[in-house]
Amino acid sequence: MLLKTALPGKSKHFISTEEMLVWAGLVLTYPMFLLGMLYVMGSVIGWIIILVIILRMYVQTNRKHPPVAPLVWIWVCAMAVMLIALLIAHSEWSLGLSQTIKSSIGWMKGWALLAIFPLIANLAKIRKEVVIRGVCIVAIHTFIFAIVSIAFYIVKLPGDIFLSPLKVIGGPGESFFMVSFYGINPETGAGRWRFFTPWAPAAGFMACIYLVFCLQEKNTKIRRWAIAGCWAMLLLSQSRAGMAIFIMLFPLVIFSDKLKEPWILICLGVIVPTALLLGEPIYNAVMDSYEAVKQQRPGSTRVRQALANIAVQRWQMEAPIWGHGIVERGPKMVEFMPIGSHHSWYGLLFVKGIVGALALAIPMIISALYFLWHAQTSKTSQIAFCLLTVFICYSFFENLEILSYLFWPALLWFGFAFSEKDKSNSSR
């Protein structure tokens, strides 16, 4: 009952089992994290919901179900291509049946979710307001967690609490099962927070995703506290990319639906020629600022660049079409981190080759154009465009598939935008 009282609108009841599961998956984020179960819950909740939908279709044979939107099918086909690339690469490199099964399960917990959640939003009865309010509750919990964890840090209590025994089921690494209040930045010795994510930069990523949702909350008090939670997550994570993208989101949310207005076109008509005329000094200033940001953490920058170089060289020389099939640990010079990590595109090229990279790039580009076009008449598409912009930006700093168990609310919203029938009548 306590959870239901936080539901938006006059009705305090769920309209479907699927909506109840989505709500529970959001508001129980921190309880699951503190129990070391978040990775498991986030990885399976999409499959549980899709099974509920299939069961409903089987039982209610006379009920008319909505058609699947064409763009949802594009994502489904693209993620199926990811699986095909995985299977072919495993066959070419003779990785064995057990490794193939393990990698296929990894695909189900990662790339497959990029198609599963838009499909869920297309087929199930889930209110957008429930997703927004659920994300806001997680953001408010984040603010509370920040205060408590800062107190832990000040009094020098241990940051890592315990490693969940669920680690035995397998996963990307121990960090996904570690319950931690704060961590230590190895370069500065100061505290650095990762909240409910596996590492600090991922917390910056989630702060940007959550901000887009929190800005849509209609309840002023909830919105303010939720945005405060987003700021706390961003600042304490100390993510350089997150800070830049977070600040960019405010004007993007405000202006991305006004591209057809005359004053915007006039401004673009002035800004674009000016930028072209001053291209060289602007480029130099941007690159200088970029280099200054990278030098704030030179060790991290060096490792990232080395991982990228190794991934590209080995992809070109050894497996350009289908990739290597599995992630491999790098040498000592990159601190034994996985080759292609910290970058979706390098990781895809190394593991799934050019086929895998195109399987992500094509639906992402098509979706971005679709969202931008419909953002001028649909609030849902405008929000989806802002979320996808965060995805595109962060794809150059994180492996998206490994964090899909966290950002699935954004994937749900993509499905809302894909399946929206009447763009002109959507709420503004």
Helix or strand (DSSP H, E) at 426: none
Phi, psi of 159 (to 5 degrees): -80, -45
Concatenating the DSSP letter of every residue in 352-394 gives HHHHHHHHHHHHHHHHHHHHHHHTTT-HHHHHHHHHHHHHHHH
Q: What is the pLDDT of residues 94-135, one digit of tens each?
A: 888 999 999 999 999 999 999 999 999 999 989 999 999 999
Closest CA to 397 of 345, 327, 338: 345
* Section 58-78 average pLDDT: 86
- The predicted structure's pLDDT at residue 47: 95
User: Cβ contacts of residue 305 below 8 Å, gap of 6+?
Assistant: none
pLDDT at 172: 77
pLDDT at 92: 87
B/e letters for 301-327, b = 16+ CB within 10 Å, e = fewer, are: eebbebbbebbbebbeeebeebbbbbb
Q: 344-374 and 298-318 are packed helices; what angle lies between their axes, rounded to 10 degrees?
A: 100
Q: What is the pLDDT of residue 62?
A: 73
Given a cut of 60, whether residue 290 has pLDDT beyond it is no
Residue identified by tokens 């107190």 is 151
What's the confidence (pLDDT) of residue 301? Answer: 66
Reported confidence tier of residue 168, pLDDT bands at 50, 70, 90: confident
Cβ proximity of 383 and 212 under 8 Å: yes
Cα–Cα distance measured from residue 39 to residue 393, given in angstroms and rounded to the nearest whole number: 23
pLDDT tens-digit profile of 375-417?
888 889 999 999 999 999 888 888 898 999 999 999 999 999 9
CA distance 339 to 303: 10
* pLDDT at 142 > cutoff 90: yes
Query: Could you write out the DSSP letters of every residue in 12-41?
Result: -S-SSHHHHHHHHHHHTHHHHHHTT-HHHH
Cα dihedral across residues 360, 200, 223, 18: positive or negative = positive
310: closest CA among 267, 280, 339, 274?
A: 339
At 74-94, the pLDDT tens digits run 999 999 999 999 999 999 888
| Beta-sheet pairing, 191-192 with 160-163 | unpaired
Q: What is the mean predicted confidence (pLDDT) over 300-324?
A: 80
* Bridge pairing between strands 191-192 and 178-180: unpaired
Return the number of other C-beta atoms located less than 10 Å from residue 71's C-beta: 20
Is the model's pLDDT at 16 over the cut of 50?
Answer: yes
Residue 175 has what DSSP assignment? G
Q: Which long-range contacts (CB under 8 A, 24 or more apart) does 179-188 make?
A: 179/33, 179/34, 179/35, 179/36, 181/148, 181/149, 181/152, 181/153, 181/157, 182/149, 182/150, 182/152, 182/153, 182/236, 183/159, 184/159, 185/238, 186/299, 187/297, 187/299, 187/300
CA gap 383, 365 in Å, rounded: 16
Report the chain's mean pLDDT, rounded to a whole number: 83
Residue 29 has pLDDT above 80, yes or no: yes
Residue 191 bridge partners (DSSP): 184
pLDDT tens string 182-204: 888 877 778 889 999 998 889 99
Q: Which of 212-221, 291-300, 308-317 has the lowest mean pLDDT?
A: 291-300
8, 219 contact by CB (below 8 A): yes
Tally of CA atoms within 13 A in the half-sphere of 175 that contains its CB: 15
pLDDT given at position 286:
47
Confidence of residue 219 (pLDDT cuts 50, 70, 90): very high
pLDDT in tens, 266-277: 654 555 555 444
Predicted local confidence at residue 422, as pLDDT: 39
